[in-house]
């Protein structure tokens, strides 16, 4: 009899406990699709050749810089015992997706792509489809991030915490944005 009551309690109470412990304001975990997937739509002239702009940027090379002897020397000088490419304090500004569940990484996603589309625009698995991307509000609801205060966003990485930051240096967001600007051209 006790076993029947216990089993019945688990079936009746467990769903209530799950509901009570769920946070209705929590953000869903969106998956990463990778630059190859983003580039399928964002490489055309109509889209401003955004993929090409990224490929030619230092952001696309950010991970590769961690694979150098110089990066390893900098990491060691900062007191890290792992190579730069395996040091979370280095990866946090040179890559994305290195610290998420593997189930959130799509088959086209590569950490080695460095500072990529989803670094700034958020994981794209839930907003990548054309039907969602055509509706800005829907895309944002599905994880697209649009930054209105570029300086606040960019200085999360471009700051004095970097071992290559020069004392007294300030981040010139206007000049730096000009190097990677990738707006969609206005329709004619």
What are the pLDDT digits (tens) for 65-111?
A: 999 999 999 999 999 999 999 999 999 999 999 999 999 999 999 99
Residue 2: inside a domain, yes or no?
A: no
Residue 97: inside a domain, yes or no?
A: yes
Q: Is the pLDDT of residue 33 over 60?
A: yes
pLDDT tens by residue, 34-75 = 999 999 999 999 999 999 999 999 999 999 999 999 999 999
Give the structural domain span for 66: 29-180
3 state SS of 81 = coil
**CATH classification at residue 130:** 1.10.1130.10
Report the domain count for the chain: 1
Q: Is the pLDDT of residue 8 over 60?
A: no
Residue 5: inside a domain, yes or no?
A: no
Percent of the residues in the chain that have a pLDDT greater than 90, as a whole number: 73
d(C-alpha 183, C-alpha 188), whole Å: 15
Residue 176: inside a domain, yes or no?
A: yes
Helices (H), the chain: 2-21, 35-41, 50-55, 62-65, 69-77, 88-94, 117-121, 130-133, 136-141, 150-154, 173-180
Q: Is the pLDDT of residue 7 over 80?
A: no
């Amino acid at each position: 009899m006790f076993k029947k009551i216990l089993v019945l309690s688990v079936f009746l109470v467990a769903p209530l406990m799950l509901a009570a412990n769920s946070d209705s304001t929590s953000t869903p975990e969106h998956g990463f699709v990778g630059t190859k997937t983003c580039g399928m739509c964002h490489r055309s002239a109509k889209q401003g050749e955004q993929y090409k702009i990224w490929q030619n940027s230092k952001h696309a090379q950010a991970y590769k810089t961690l694979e150098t002897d110089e990066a390893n020397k900098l990491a060691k000088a900062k007191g890290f015992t792992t190579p730069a490419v395996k040091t979370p304090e280095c990866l946090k500004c040179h890559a994305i997706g290195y610290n998420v569940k593997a189930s959130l990484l799509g088959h086209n996603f590569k950490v080695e792509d460095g500072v990529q589309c989803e670094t700034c625009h958020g994981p794209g698995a839930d907003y990548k489809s054309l039907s969602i991307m055509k509706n800005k509000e829907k895309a944002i609801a599905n994880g697209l991030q649009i930054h209105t205060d570029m300086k606040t966003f960019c200085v999360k990485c471009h700051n004095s915490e970097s071992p290559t930051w020069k004392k007294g240096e300030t981040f010139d967001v206007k000049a730096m944005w000009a190097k990677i600007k990738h707006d969609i051209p206005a329709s004619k």
